[in-house]
Amino acid sequence: MRKLTVFIASFVVVLVAGAAMAQFGSYPSGEEKDTAEQTTTTTTDRAPSRDGVDETPGPKVHPDDVAAKAGAVDDGRSDDEPVEPTGGDVVLAEEPDGKKDATEGKDEAEEPEDLWIEVLYPASGQGFEEKTLLFEGEVTPGTRVFAGKYEADVDAEGNWRIVLVLSPGWNRTTFTAVAADGRETTDSVKVFYDAPARKPKPPAREEPKEESPAEWKFAANQTYGECAENPPYDVFWGEGKPGSTITVVSEFGSGSTKVDADGEWELKVTFPDAPYDKTFLVQVKDQFGNVAKFEFTRVKEA
């Protein structure tokens, strides 16, 4: 019985000693412990620089702790595994360096420039004796200028000029500036044109008629005055300047002849288109403006 008690006591001592040895072996020696502490201190003393800028160290936070605080749920994927966007998620791709959003820094739409026009010359109320006058002024650059249907010359600085014809008395001229977007504005000026008094036109000069020489005279005679022949005709005769032309005219027939050397002439004229029983005018003229008038009637045969 005593031997059994000694054996049990020895077995308990061995178990306790083995447990103590196992616990003692899990702690590092004094030298190893100091080295671990030094390594930890070196690691947390300064964080590595990023892009050449030193960062002040702070308390380390494990990514799992951040996700836990934000309410993230562990989905079982590793950190290196790409995340597929789920319904409702918006994934924005990073833009390359140096490229900015097209709308970034874009100013609001600029308001159109104020449209204006001014007549610099002449001053309103001036009087002029010249019929044509040069008008000058300024306008918003890039704008066209019109005076009615006439367009002025406009340079890049907005200086414009145009020459217009004035009417006698007061002339009010309006100039219209038209912008590229269709906007318009006007300015006007009133000037007086003192037109010279008009001279009356001289009466038309009449060429003097060549007077008949005293040694000759114009005379014309009619032989019948009516005729039933087909075609009807009449004989005219008289006197005139030798070598001059005698002409017989009517609406139904005409003819001409020369005055002979003795100053006498004779001409037979037919009237083929003359209607029956209608009396019409027949004139005998010379080249000096002398005229004799007669009547003729075409009659039917008895």
Q: How do residues 44-55 score in pLDDT, each as one tens digit?
A: 444 444 444 444
CATH number of the domain within which 264 lies: 2.60.40.230
Q: How do residues 250-284 score in pLDDT, each as one tens digit?
A: 999 999 999 999 999 999 999 999 999 999 999 99
Would you call 34 helix, strand, or coil by DSSP? Answer: helix
Same domain, residue pair 189 and 248: no
Task: Enter the pTM of the model.
Answer: 0.34
Counting the structural domains of the chain, the total is 2
Domain extent for 185:
117-193
Q: How do residues 112-147 score in pLDDT, each as one tens digit?
A: 789 999 999 999 999 999 989 999 999 999 999 999
Q: Is 33 left (phi over 0), alpha (psi -120 to 50) or beta?
A: alpha
Q: How do residues 185-220 score in pLDDT, each as one tens digit?
A: 999 999 999 988 776 777 777 666 655 555 788 999
- CB count within 10 Å of CB 139 equals 26
Q: How do residues 154-169 score in pLDDT, each as one tens digit?
A: 999 999 999 999 999 8
Is residue 193 within 8 Å of 164, Cβ to Cβ? no
- CB count within 10 Å of CB 284 equals 25
Look at residue 110 in the predicted model and tell me its pLDDT.
67
Same domain, residue pair 161 and 225: no
Look at residue 221 in the predicted model and tell me its pLDDT.
95
